Structure 1
Amino acid sequence: MVSSERGRVEPAQEAHRELTAAHAGLAGDRVVAVNSTARVLVAAAARALRGADCADLGGPRPMSRFPGTPDPVRRAAATRAATRVALTPAQTAEVDAARVADWLVGQYPRRRYPGVLLGSAHGAAAHLAAALDMPWLPASFEMSVHWSRGAVDQPRAALDHGAALTARLLAGNPDVHVRQVHCPASRGALAGATVSLSVRWRTLPVAYRRFLADRLHPGGAVLLLRDARTWPVLDEGLGHSFQVGSPASGLEPVDFHPDSHALRQVLRSAGGDGARWEPPEVTAPREPAETGVDAGFTDSVAVWSGRHGHPLHRVLFPQPEALSAATADLYRGWLRRAGKTGDRLVVECGRLLDPWQVVRAGLVPYWCENATRRRVEGVEWWLAGSEPFSSVDVLPEPPGVRSPALAGLPQWLAVAAFGRRRRALDRGSARGYPVSSVPTSRATEVLRNQPYDLPTPPPLPVADALGALRDGGAAQGLVLR
């Protein structure tokens, strides 16, 4: 699909992809995994640009109202729910990444924007979108596919099954790379019932190109966010790579070694057996993790931006907290310049966020990627070095699994304790933590109870945002170029 000049799409091929996206394949909302971070963030950002909150996002997951449910019963219920919404192996041949891109851009209001955010899925991207009045579009999307004879403790079998699925998908989508992630630490028993495929665009999709050409103001900025974390990977150069574990698990690659005590704990809680764990050999010890951006996508964005006169700004962050902290500092300055206090903080986690309610209430948002100790320690360190906040509200998303890497409720309470006058840990999120689950709309319910702080500030100029990211992120290794 890509010509000799990287990122360029031939007219005949583009017309074919547009026809395919319009009339064939599965609908985008059927393909993209229901609870995937990118899906939730696009939905949240699109609602914020319409002046709407996330009250309609997500419903309770199985057993979420019964935190005392025995683990085997809870695992079985979660597995049944996951397989109901997962794709069948045959449906992978019907996936059209171009149609997914159409679905993603179609969620945003039809108007002009001062710029666009692209790249890695990070909650701060949705908050930057709300502050800058810009859409955010992911460089990849996640799929969940049935693995009827799967086992959480058999990564080699997962690799074989995922390779067969990927071959079907790549036959109709040569412009993507598929990263399969087998991580019982972050997915629990679901890693033995479904396979998780992260589909990365290797070039800017046609729908994205059309969206940028039609919706950006002349000279509008393009901000490319890139998660720079790496992970050991098996990649034989066939468009499919395989990854055991994930940086999002809160564990290190060595923790997925067969002799690891942490791995045995994880597998036992997921209904597996550490004695059967035999991961395949890796071919690349430091490849971009599934949270990264394909190099071809980055090059394609650069080519498009240069040709159409849109300045490109690359934002690289070594860990999620670098972008979270820089965005929180950015919000504080933005609110204060608008005459607000900037002294009320909300610490969000995972899918528990609502950018519109944050802006409506005049809050400073800090997003934790998940409930692992490492991510919670990140917000603790940032709070310890920041000007104190008068109030701190904490929304810990229960991951639905048990893992030695998870933060306990006392650590979350320690985060809330940084508030000088108000210290609040959401009880609904904490009930049954860590094995219960709550929908995204829970964040909306909590934030709706915050007092209004209207009018909302005018959109933040891009130059001011770039300056704030550069100043606030430099100490944590964030690079802006």
Structure 2
Amino acid sequence: MHAVRKGLTADGAGLAGDRVVAAGSAARILVAATARALRGEDCADLGHVGPLSRFVGAPEPVRRAAATRAAGRVALTAGQTAEVDADRVARWFTDQYPRRRWPGLLLGSPHGAAAHLAVALGVPWLPAGFEMTAHWAGGSVDRPRAALDHGAALTARLLAANPDLHVRQVHCPASRGALAGATVSLAARWLTLPAAYRRFLADRLEPGAPVLLLSDARTWPVLDSAPGHSFQVGCPASGLDPVDFHPDSHNLRQVLRAAGGDDTPWEPPEVGAPPGYAEHGVESGFDHHVREWTGRHGHPLHRIHVPWPEALSAAIADLYRRWLRAAGKTGDRLVVECGRLLDPWQVVRAGMVPYWCENATRRSVEGVEWWLAGSEPFSSVDVLPEPPGMRSPALAGLPQWLAVAGFGHRRRALDRASARGYPVSSVPTRRATEVLRAQPYDLPTPKPLAVPEALAGLREGGAAQGLLVC
């Protein structure tokens, strides 16, 4: 377990947010990166070298065993799930930001480009939920029904103390590999604004400051297991489609084999209802409560609905380019980030345009390729592919990442440390900081972007890709 930074642990009994929120999860990384950027700091202290870095050349079973042991050390026990206090988690998020009045707030679904938008606006970013992992003794990647039963028991303990949550359990060997058989993944989403968020809005926003609510609109087949608990097999971030998790799928057989599955028949629970929002969607109650609070307190609310991550990444990259050029910079140097490999402060310090890939799947990389093909050329392109630590039929190969770097006219750089051992190695977040620190300074940094200008840019750049800004 990592040491808890002073001032970030919730007061009183129970588990601190640092212990509850899954290490390496999107919400955790993005809050940390955004808070550091708003303090004028980079992400050099984020992340640690994972266990897989020592086993790049080892056989698959050895790597899987190392990964599951590491996951087990930080996963919650059944007893600890009953000690989770979701409002303490919310307070842990808000307490990471400097105590001052802010000119606005961005909250909602986790997305790396949203962190870049928040930094350009000079405002905090807060998630509408958080992820947890819990032990699953005797689990197996190829037993989704057993995963559902185990997750339902854990969720009942969790909801008994946190009725303001909805818990989406995700069983996805394609995105989690062997970890899907050793732990269960629980994505908790607030049904209303937690008390810590309400205090943050009331005490730390300037009068009339706008609030932006970002919603991931991707859908996926979902089983409503019990009140407050839903279950999905697979996820959009896997780079696969729902049909790929059918028992007869060739892709599924490849995934299970790579994750250490055996010959147990794959029998997912039957899902009869129409697809619902995937695990990173925003609960309707949360949306309603934000709308109600902002209307009552005189804060304009703007919603951004994201049909797929690439749409927001492209729109914000275009927005950054215009913002940089308005400040007298070239806007011709691009950094393609991936997953946890991002550093918003170093991007602004270097005067670079950021494009964020959700992960290393072919689908994500094809998104940046299409955007680059239709964009004004960049003089330099730096690429930071995050190795997922596992193999999957949906992953992009290094040649595809190299093709992205090839769009640079003068400089074409694929980070060697990230490429070494790809895709089965692991690289800490601070690797992005190390790469970006080597970029030449382009100071002074631009003045913060105005919210109306940002919204107009998102409408203009995102409309063709289905981005809805209202």
Does TM-score exceed 0.5, indicating one fold? yes
Within the candidate set 283, 292, 305, 1:294 is matched to: 283
Cα distance in 1 for partners of 2:52, 2:383 equals 23
Within the candidate set 385, 388, 393, 1:399 is matched to: 388
* Distance 1:274-1:220 versus aligned 2 partners, 3 A rule: farther
- Residue in 2 that maps onto 1:84: 73
- In the alignment, is the contact (CA less than 8 A) between 1:233 and 1:242 conserved in 2? yes
- In the alignment, is the contact (CA less than 8 A) between 2:389 and 2:425 conserved in 1? yes
SS at match of 1:64: helix
Within the candidate set 346, 353, 359, 2:348 is matched to: 359
Q: Which runs of 5+ in 1 are unaligned?
A: 1-20
- Residue in 2 that maps onto 1:119: 108
SS at match of 1:305: helix
Within the candidate set 258, 269, 275, 1:269 is matched to: 258
Cα distance in 2 for partners of 1:89, 1:67 equals 32
- In the alignment, is the contact (CA less than 8 A) between 2:106 and 2:123 conserved in 1? yes
Which segment is superposed worse, 265-274 or 28-37?
A: 265-274
AA aligned opposite 2:100: R
- Residue in 1 that maps onto 2:6: none
Cα distance in 2 for partners of 1:207, 1:354 equals 26
AA aligned opposite 1:59: H
Measure how far apart 1:237 and its partner are.
Answer: 4.5
Cα distance in 2 for partners of 1:201, 1:124 equals 22
AA aligned opposite 2:218: R
AA aligned opposite 2:121: L
- In the alignment, is the contact (CA less than 8 A) between 2:320 and 2:353 conserved in 1? yes
TM-score (norm 1): 0.95
- Residue in 1 that maps onto 2:442: 453
AA aligned opposite 1:40: I
Cα distance in 1 for partners of 2:79, 2:55 equals 35
Q: Across the two proteins, how many residue pairs are aligned to each other?
A: 462
AA aligned opposite 1:180: Q
**Quick one: percent identity of the two aligned structures?**
80
Within the candidate set 336, 356, 364, 1:347 is matched to: 336
- In the alignment, is the contact (CA less than 8 A) between 1:330 and 1:469 conserved in 2? yes
- In the alignment, is the contact (CA less than 8 A) between 2:55 and 2:62 conserved in 1? no
Task: State yes or no: 1:247 paired with 2:236.
Answer: yes
Q: Deviations over 1:59-103 (max 9, x none)?
A: 100031442111110000010000001111110000000100000
Within the candidate set 16, 22, 25, 2:14 is matched to: 25
Task: State yes or no: 1:140 paired with 2:132.
Answer: no
- Residue in 1 that maps onto 2:199: 210
Q: Structure 1 residue runs of 4+, over 4 Å off?
A: none
Cα distance in 1 for partners of 2:114, 2:99 equals 20
Task: State yes or no: 1:93 paired with 2:48.
Answer: no
Cα distance in 2 for partners of 1:298, 1:24 equals 30
Q: Deviations over 1:39-62 (max 9, x none)?
A: 000000000000000000011000
Q: Deviations over 1:452-471 (max 9, x none)?
A: 00000010011111111111
CA-based RMSD: 1.0
- Residue in 2 that maps onto 1:480: 469
- Residue in 2 that maps onto 1:4: none
Cα distance in 2 for partners of 1:66, 1:79 equals 13
Cα distance in 2 for partners of 1:316, 1:191 equals 29
Q: Which runs of 5+ in 2 are unaligned?
A: 1-9
- Residue in 2 that maps onto 1:229: 218
Task: State yes or no: 1:107 paired with 2:93.
Answer: no
Task: State yes or no: 1:62 paired with 2:62.
Answer: no
- Residue in 2 that maps onto 1:428: 417
SS at match of 1:207: helix
- Residue in 1 that maps onto 2:4: none
AA aligned opposite 1:153: D
- In the alignment, is the contact (CA less than 8 A) between 1:258 and 1:274 conserved in 2? no
Cα distance in 2 for partners of 1:64, 1:186 equals 18
Which segment is superposed worse, 261-270 or 58-67?
A: 58-67
Q: Deviations over 1:139-174 (max 9, x none)?
A: 010000000110011000000000000000000000
- Residue in 2 that maps onto 1:390: 379
Measure how far apart 1:226 and its partner are.
Answer: 0.5
Cα distance in 2 for partners of 1:43, 1:127 equals 12
AA aligned opposite 1:217: E
Cα distance in 2 for partners of 1:65, 1:457 equals 41
Cα distance in 2 for partners of 1:252, 1:143 equals 24
> Where do residues 108-187 of structure 1 align in structure 2 (5 Å cutoff)?
108-187=97-176
- Residue in 2 that maps onto 1:379: 368
